Amino acid sequence: MSSTTYNQQDNLSNLEASNSRPRTIIGTLLTVLAFTLLGVALLPLGLVIAYVIIKGANRLNLSLFTELPPAAFQEGGGVANAIVGTLILVGIAAIISIPIGVLAAVYLSEFAPKRVARWIRFATNVLSGVPSIIVGIFAYGVIVLRTDSFSAFAGGFALAILMLPIIVRTTDEALQIVPQEVRWASVGVGASNFHTVLKIVLPAALPAIVTGTSLAIARAAGETAPLIFTALFTQFWPNGLFEPIPSLSVLIYNYATVPYDNQRELAWAASLLLVLLILLASVISRWATRKSVY
Amino acid sequence: MPTQEQQNSRSQTSQKEEMILKAEDVTVYYDDFAALRGVYMDIPRNQVTALIGPSGCGKSTLLRCFNRLNDLIDGCRVEGKVIYRDKNLYSDNIDAVEVRRRIGMVFQKPNPFPKSIYENIAYGARINGYKDNMDDLVEKSLRQAAIWDEVKDKLKQNGLSLSGGQQQRLCIARAVALKPDVVLMDEPCSSLDPVSTSKVEDLIHELKEEYTIVIVTHNMQQASRVADMTAFFNAEEGESGNRFGYLVEYDRTEDIFENPQEESTKSYVGGHFG
């Protein structure tokens, strides 16, 4: 009887929370540590964005979007040609890489024998790990040297190669998330493979495909290395697909380090635009992810 | 007559009824090992035939032979004949897609398309070249599957937003929308609650007026409630240690449950194993 009473009292006092218990102290310490490290991890992101906004915001006006870059000692001007150029380059890259990437992923996920699929996935991973400057060299060798001209097409081609593995991988993953039973259901109502993939599997995976594609576009829009010696740069409006073409990233590269204040300010403003563009792509991808079915 | 019919029910039924599906010496291999061996079985028209037996006895495997869904499974190979209205489904000149238009299927887990309820029904009809009034077909199919009243105000909603039991009835509606000859059901109630299960079972009773139904079930009570014919499958250890399934006994449901001829059937339906 007495031992029962003793045990009960002991248990009850144990139940009360105490801040001096080692377990509680270690728990609190670790929580604080984790929170601090999270802050450290987020710091660069915050600093980069804040710095770009501070440096670039004062040139964020209408002429930035409408005027051409000024020559060395001129005042004013904008980066309109580079905005158009980046859109054209990314557009070319998207037109090349999205159909190829999505169809390749459809083959990988739906039709390829397992062994083949494993090797293609491996190859895709290798391709996504290839440094962008090497992709640029490749495009330079294959297109610029052959056509004897720096061109928007060469730049778009280089960006397409960078986007391709991202699109293949995200689409492949999106297709594999679609449950096998749904494919069986479609086949079970007498659908051909063509119908099953086109009407059931691809629509179900579409949000994830949009996510992957917009991330790939964001990545491509920010690339500089492969454009320097494919698309080159001009101070003028884009002049056709087989002429050199300006882009925001190369404009930043060219203007950020010059001794002319006006051009440096434009480089910062262009950086801000690029960050905003990537932010937009991320927002689109988040939105698409929320629409996903599975 | 009843005594003779009991003794001889297999031959009796085959004389009396038209057989719509026949399995003749069907053996199914997964890679190199036979999962199901030597099945002979005749499925009568406009009746419910249940396939029962313990896990791994090959009943779902056999079911998938009836609409060539096994084609989709890597490494699966079927030997023997599956005769559907005098045609061997496994001969070279048979188009599997056409087979599946006539022999529909309801799966174990409800698997509506990630589309609207309306589209879930219309999809199959449309790809099969259905030209009449689609709204009528959708309504009729949903009514046949006893789900119309629950969904008629939300046909535009995604099929995945329904409860599990409703999803399964939607899947049944999707199957009957094609006006198939045969509806195959692979444990259609295994993921449903008792209320939904009894709704689906009522539905099976109604559907057999128009369709031939083959149903795989783990649940012996379900087989005894819904089926006219019952086939009992069992699994055995093969020479190489692999388990393979085979057909033990196939007869009218009341004979299987009340007067089984085989010892293993008796002990299975008596609840002694499996």
Cα distance between the two ends of chain A? 59
Determine, for residues A188 and B128 on separate chains, whether the beta-carbon distance falls below 8 Å: no
pLDDT at B3: 44
Identify the closest residue of chain B to A113 by CA–CA distance. B74
Say if residue A104 is in the same domain as residue A208.
yes
More confident residue, A21 or A147: A147
Which two tokens mark B155?
């046909």
- Count residue pairs from A and B with Cβ separation < 8 A: 73
Average pLDDT, chain B: 87
Say if residue A54 is in the same domain as residue A66.
no
Annotate B94-140 with DSSP letters as a single string.
--HHHHHHHEEEE-SS----SSBHHHHHHHHHHHTT--S-HHHHHHH
Determine, for residues A186 and B123 on separate chains, whether the beta-carbon distance falls below 8 Å: yes
- Most B CBs within 10 Å: which of A116, A181, A189, as the mutation test of the B interface? A189
Say if residue A124 is in the same domain as residue A42.
no
For each of the domains in chain B, give its residue range(s) and CATH number, in order of start. 2-269 (3.40.50.300)
Say if residue A132 is in the same domain as residue A27.
no
Say if residue A132 is in the same domain as residue A49.
no
Say if residue A199 is in the same domain as residue A242.
yes
pLDDT at B14: 44
- Most A CBs within 10 Å: which of B72, B73, B176, B214, as the mutation test of the A interface? B72
Say if residue A48 is in the same domain as residue A75.
no
Q: In this predicted complex, what is the ipTM?
A: 0.81
Say if residue A267 is in the same domain as residue A154.
yes
- Percent helix, strand, coil in chain A, to 5, is 80, 0, 20
The per-residue pLDDT for range A21-64, each reduced to its tens digit, is 888 889 999 999 999 999 999 999 999 999 999 999 888 888 88
- Which of the listed residues A20, A44, A59 is the one where a domain comes to its end? A59
Determine, for residues B100 and A187 on separate chains, whether the beta-carbon distance falls below 8 Å: yes
Number of structural domains in chain A: 2
Chain B residues touching A204 at Cβ < 8 A: 113-114
Q: Burial of A101 by CB count in 10 Å (0-12 exposed, 13-18 middle, 19+ buried)?
A: buried
Domain containing A27 equals 2-59
Say if residue A37 is in the same domain as residue A101.
no
pLDDT-derived band at B12, boundaries 50, 70, 90: very low
The per-residue pLDDT for range B156-185, each reduced to its tens digit, is 999 999 998 899 999 999 999 998 999 999
Closest partner residue to B113 (CB to CB) among A186, A190, A192 is: A186
Q: What is the bridge-based pairing of β-strands B33-44 and B243-252?
A: parallel
Say if residue A109 is in the same domain as residue A209.
yes
Q: Where residue A166 sits, what CATH number does that domain have? A: 1.10.3720.10
Chain A residues touching B98 at Cβ < 8 A: 190
- Which of the listed residues A31, A59, A87 is the one where a domain comes to its end? A59
Say if residue A44 is in the same domain as residue A66.
no
- Which of the listed residues A26, A42, A59 is the one where a domain comes to its end? A59
Chain B residues touching A117 at Cβ < 8 A: none
Say if residue A80 is in the same domain as residue A50.
no
